[in-house]
Structure 1
Amino acid sequence: MDLSGYVSNLRERYDELEEILSQGGIYAQPGRAAELTREHARLKEVFAQHELWVSSQEKVASLEALLRESEDPEIHQLAEEELVQARQAAQDAHRQLLLALLPADENESRNTVLEIRAGTGGDEAALFAADLYRMYSRYAEKRGWRLAPISLAPSELGGLREIIAEISGEGAYRQLRFESGVHRVQRVPATESQGRIHTSTATVAILPEAEEVDVVLKPEELRIEVCRAGGPGGQGVNTTDSAVQVLHIPTGLIVRCQEGRSQIKNREKAITILRTRLLAQRQQEERARLSSERRGLIGSGDRHEKIRTYNFPQDRVTDHRIPVTLHGLASVLEGNIESLLEVLAAKEMEARLAVEEAAASSRATP
């Protein structure tokens, strides 16, 4: 693959973006302006990585020429040592350039919908679901994101049978996208009198929030009902018909929202969540149609895939996809999950890069 030629062809698009962004009119469309700004920044990073790669190649060529031309043994030894480092730097620069050229995930800039549901394990599963929600809340707080509950169903012992929340903030979906799946906990429940370890589960879904243009909902496809909100929320919430339930007739999907006292806002939120689930369903179907070479990427996003175990007796967290085991479970549940997320992102990029390199190699073969 002629990387220099490919990068050179991107200059025309970069110049076009420079012209568009220099004109004030585009900023009357905030969404479009943000999209073009991100594309402009990505191309700028591509050019910077390309310059590093070119300069590293030039250094390798210069050292190789020095070895051919010089007869001084001392110079030869120094040049050979430096050449090893230069070749490694050139290889690293090549990989960084390929990473920069990889297409960005179309969902990266979207707000995120977090859904957590208690799985097997009864009350203990609900308590674990609440622990996971607290973990993500702490992580969101550290990142400066806004986390707002949309709908929740508490359990009798203070856990959560289900919680749906919206996370707003730069990079939220990009950072959390690998968290979808089954999370398993192994511990002695507070209600266990004989000290036996129980295994319980909760499912997590990280969904990119859909917009109206992503999924068009026809009025005749929706059945909307209002009812009195239930559970905690204060006297005002629970004594008004503010909760909204939306049924999507073609798929049977049901969304309920009781975030606040405004029926109109709850209706809007419920429809947004419905769009989000329909978009996620469509994207999951598209991923399932991908060629086998991409099935090695980290996580399918399937909420039925067991991804992680939180083992209290051994004070460890194990991610089964990488695999990686960390000790210091209490710290992880306080939202210190950066190290896990970073390894997952790195593995995903390595897998994507391997696919891209294989594709580039096949294109280069006559």
Structure 2
Amino acid sequence: MLFDKLDDTVRHYEELMNTLSEPDVANDTNRFRKLMKEQSDLMPIVDTYKQYKECQQNIDDSLEILSEESDEEMKELAKAELSESKENLEVLAQKLKILLLPKDPNDDKNVIVEIRAGAGGDEAALFAAEIYRMYIHYAETQNWKVETLEVEEIGIGGMKKVNFMLSGPSVYSKMKYESGVHRVQRVPATESAGRIHTSTITVAVMPEAEDVDIKIDEKDIRIDVMRASGNGGQCVNTTDSAVRLTHYPTGIVIYSQTEKSQIQNKAKAFALLKTKLYDLELQKKQDAESAERLSQIGTGDRSEKIRTYNFPQGRVTDHRINLTLYKLDKILNGDIAEILDACIAADQAKKLSKMGED
């Protein structure tokens, strides 16, 4: 039975709470942080299980009343209580199953998002800039911090490429569903005949690499410094603040010029390189675990067409979950919570189904 070991979990949680209250634990910052993280992870499971057990007790009490009570009014009350408790028990059981699903170890991490213009030339670059703004607006609703790391703009307001970091609670757990090909269908402003064009961009959502995740050998990297170019105010072209990293083993090139300081640009470039190398390792692991990939809702394959934004019809369709919403303007303004919630629910349903087969 899936819930058999939950009594042990409750006991462990209570021991954890007692340990956290000990004075010497608070003085050990690393240990305290680790225990607090474990306590935070277990709390929803323990609270839900306690509700589940209370519900079970209510059912037993109601059945006892129905078997022993002769008063009709009391029996009617017990029937109503029994019906409500059975419904609640099913809801709580489903919630517990979801809480007990194996957790992605990267879910709590910050992310680096890379958006690249694909097919469609300038129109794709314009759409890339719109999707970038969509994520910025969504991040604001989540109180996440946004930091632009690398951007390659075109003169008409588009972006060939942009890398930015989103920092906050559980960022990867939500944003990981955005990886893939995003397609736009609309009449470009430059199209005089009014024909609908189709353009694409790719989005890669990468969990931030920590020092323990990736080690970089200095001999594998070339560091070049140069003067920044493009829009950037008076400091542009006056100091060698831009930094370019070339990673020989993978051929990855990182260019950072968003800060006025060479030191800051170098730090950003290394953070981005580490994350890209960590992402490569994750991709290799996912490719090796093909069955696990199939049990997920499009969080691994970057070549998968995941969503279409159709301007003439004002609709957005997520192809992985067959969801179509007719609120294109709101979605491009950052209102993507409904799509992400639907992806999470579909992902959980697939994993629960797979768990039932095992």
Same-fold call, TM cutoff 0.5: yes
How far off its partner does 1:176 sit?
Answer: 1.4
SS in 2 for 1:153: strand
How far off its partner does 1:241 sit?
Answer: 1.6
Counterpart mapping for 1:129-144 below 5 A: 129-144=128-143
How far off its partner does 1:58 sit?
Answer: 2.4
Amino acid at match of 2:182: H
1:204–1:26 Cα change, 3 Å: farther
CA contact (8 A) 2:286 2:292 kept: no
Aligned residues: 358
How far off its partner does 1:150 sit?
Answer: 1.0
**In 2: Cα distance, 1:110 partner to 1:31 partner:** 17
Aligned twin of 2:221: 222
Aligned twin of 2:54: 55
Amino acid at match of 1:39: E
**In 2: Cα distance, 1:19 partner to 1:72 partner:** 47
TM-score by length of structure 2 reads 0.91
Deviates more, 1:314-323 or 1:258-267: 258-267
Aligned twin of 2:180: 181
Counterpart mapping for 1:210-249 below 5 A: 210-249=209-248
Aligned twin of 1:322: 321
**In 2: Cα distance, 1:192 partner to 1:43 partner:** 56
1:356–1:36 Cα change, 3 Å: farther
What's the CA shift string for 1:195-241, capped at 9, x where partnerless?
A: 00000011111111111110011111212112222221123033322
Aligned twin of 1:281: 280
CA contact (8 A) 1:293 1:355 kept: no
Aligned twin of 1:363: none
Deviates more, 1:76-85 or 1:173-182: 76-85
How far off its partner does 1:120 sit?
Answer: 0.3
**In 2: Cα distance, 1:64 partner to 1:20 partner:** 40
Deviates more, 1:67-76 or 1:310-319: 67-76
5+ residue gaps in structure 2? none
CA contact (8 A) 2:206 2:276 kept: yes
1:275–1:25 Cα change, 3 Å: farther
Deviates more, 1:196-205 or 1:55-64: 55-64
How far off its partner does 1:138 sit?
Answer: 1.0
How far off its partner does 1:309 sit?
Answer: 0.5
1:99–1:316 Cα change, 3 Å: same
What's the CA shift string for 1:95-126, capped at 9, x where partnerless?
A: 11222223432222222111111000000000
CA contact (8 A) 1:42 1:100 kept: no
What's the CA shift string for 1:143-162, capped at 9, x where partnerless?
A: 22221111110113210000
SS in 1 for 2:306: strand
**In 2: Cα distance, 1:167 partner to 1:310 partner:** 23
Aligned twin of 2:149: 150
SS in 2 for 1:148: strand
1:224–1:28 Cα change, 3 Å: farther
Aligned twin of 1:89: 88
CA contact (8 A) 1:294 1:355 kept: no
CA contact (8 A) 2:119 2:200 kept: yes
Calculate percent identity across the aligned residue pairs. 42
CA contact (8 A) 2:286 2:300 kept: no
SS in 2 for 1:317: strand
**In 1: Cα distance, 2:34 partner to 2:108 partner:** 9
**In 2: Cα distance, 1:358 partner to 1:75 partner:** 43
Runs (4+) off by over 6 Å: 70-78
CA contact (8 A) 1:183 1:308 kept: yes
CA contact (8 A) 1:186 1:310 kept: yes
Aligned twin of 2:253: 254
Amino acid at match of 1:223: R
1:149–1:298 Cα change, 3 Å: same
1:311–1:27 Cα change, 3 Å: farther
**In 2: Cα distance, 1:229 partner to 1:28 partner:** 46
- Alignment partner of 1:343 is 2:331: no
SS in 2 for 1:86: helix
Alignment RMSD:
2.4
**In 2: Cα distance, 1:256 partner to 1:282 partner:** 22
How far off its partner does 1:173 sit?
Answer: 2.0
CA contact (8 A) 2:9 2:46 kept: no
**In 1: Cα distance, 2:264 partner to 2:28 partner:** 24
- Alignment partner of 1:45 is 2:20: no
SS in 1 for 2:152: strand
1:161–1:28 Cα change, 3 Å: farther
What's the CA shift string for 1:309-337, capped at 9, x where partnerless?
A: 00000010011111111112111111111
CA contact (8 A) 2:230 2:236 kept: no
What's the CA shift string for 1:7-33, capped at 9, x where partnerless?
A: 122245424533553356656776664
**In 2: Cα distance, 1:87 partner to 1:291 partner:** 39
1:21–1:71 Cα change, 3 Å: closer
Amino acid at match of 2:8: N
- Alignment partner of 1:168 is 2:133: no
1:28–1:348 Cα change, 3 Å: farther
Amino acid at match of 2:16: L
CA contact (8 A) 2:228 2:240 kept: yes
TM-score by length of structure 1 reads 0.89
Deviates more, 1:341-350 or 1:288-297: 288-297
